[in-house]
Amino acid sequence: MAVDNRLGTSTLTFSKGPRITSRYTLVGPMEGKGPHALDFHEILSDDSLGQKTAEKTERLMLELAITKTLEQHGTRIKDVQFLIAGDLLNQITTSNLAASTHTAPFIGIYGACSTFAEALGLGAVLLQGGFANQVLIGTASHYQTAERQFRYPIELNVQHLSTNQVTVTGAAAAILSFAERGPRITHATFGSVVDMGLKDPHDMGSAMAPAAFQTIQQHLADTQRTLADYDIVITGDLGKQGSKMLRLLLEREGCSGLERLQDGGSQIFGDWQSVGSGGSGAACIAVMTLGYVLNCLESAKAKRVLVVATGALLSALTVLQGESIPCIAHAIALEQ
């Protein structure tokens, strides 16, 4: 059987021009005091939304993001062929519960903080392949749910290390379609799992950097591009520590265009905020992409952007059992 030429590479190309045609981002109060406050659609005045538990808040945030992006697109959920969502919680219950309020066929995914790029890539696959003409994607995370699940209940007030990251409180949703406006999704490079043997759950940036490095290398090789072919190459969420590692790895390979590198985790909070190495969480690169990056594309500050979402695929239990941290990165190329 004849095989597509592009199968010699890992990078998928989307010739039919699927686009991000509607988007909504909402963030917590702390993210709303950061340098990208103006890039987000909504800043919550409190991080509970009146809910009794942080998990219920996280779910409500995702539901709000989904509802708002549908509204802005003038699209009813029955005209969406797929809802793709995932989050950090055990059994992705935020997404499952949010999905239960909608009738769209649901594809649940898990990619830790890379979830958003996984959803973008799968959504583009469904559009390009002719399986859908409108796909809804979403993700969410909340500082308090992540702390108590992955680390310690916040009531214990455990001191954070400088390499620790702060989970972003926020949610993001988007509609991918063939409508005429919005940035095109031109390529997706799904990464493989990279495990360099690092075991410190308090330094996930260093663990994830090699995954970002590998996916960027693969993407550039497949597309015969350099970093300089992108106005922005935004990783997320490596944080300051992980970004430093990635830069070292790329420099060692003689990679040019390093000035194009940015990192969602490092940038979402300001230096005046006490956040260790930066932000993280499934919402981090999601709100930074659908907020900041898309604003850059829409205002023509950038014409072509590579989003490289990274995920640390650990659990509290794998850490206790002495496993190292498997990591992944998926890259999505967006064009004005």
Using CB under 8 A as the criterion, which residues of the chain lie in contact with a copy of itself when the complex forms?
1, 3-4, 7, 10, 12, 53, 55-56, 81-83, 86, 88-93, 96-97, 99-100, 102-112, 118, 122, 125-126, 128-133, 178, 189-195, 313-318, 321, 323, 326, 328
For a copy of itself, give the closer residue by CB, 44 or 119: 119
What distance in Å separates the CA atoms of residue 93 and residue 95, rounded to the nearest whole number? 5
CB of 53 to a copy of itself, least distance (A): 6
For a copy of itself, give the closer residue by CB, 37 or 106: 106
Q: Where are the alpha helices (DSSP H) in 184-333?
A: 204-223, 239-252, 264-267, 282-287, 294-298, 316-320
Q: Is 70 left (phi over 0), alpha (psi -120 to 50) or beta?
A: alpha
For a copy of itself, give the closer residue by CB, 37 or 97: 97
For a copy of itself, give the closer residue by CB, 207 or 232: 207
CB of 190 to a copy of itself, least distance (A): 4
CB of 27 to a copy of itself, least distance (A): 23
CB of 273 to a copy of itself, least distance (A): 27
What distance in Å separates the CA atoms of residue 44 and residue 48, rounded to the nearest whole number? 9
Buried b (16+ CB within 10 A) or exposed e, 150-178: bbeeeeeeeeeeebbbbbbbbbbbbbbbe
CA atoms within 13 A on the CB side of 147: 20
CB of 109 to a copy of itself, least distance (A): 5
For a copy of itself, give the closer residue by CB, 30 or 88: 88
Which tokens in the block code for residue 277?
A: 């190495």
CB of 293 to a copy of itself, least distance (A): 23
For a copy of itself, give the closer residue by CB, 191 or 278: 191
Q: Strand 11-13 to strand 19-27: parallel, antiparallel, or no bridges (unpaired)?
A: unpaired
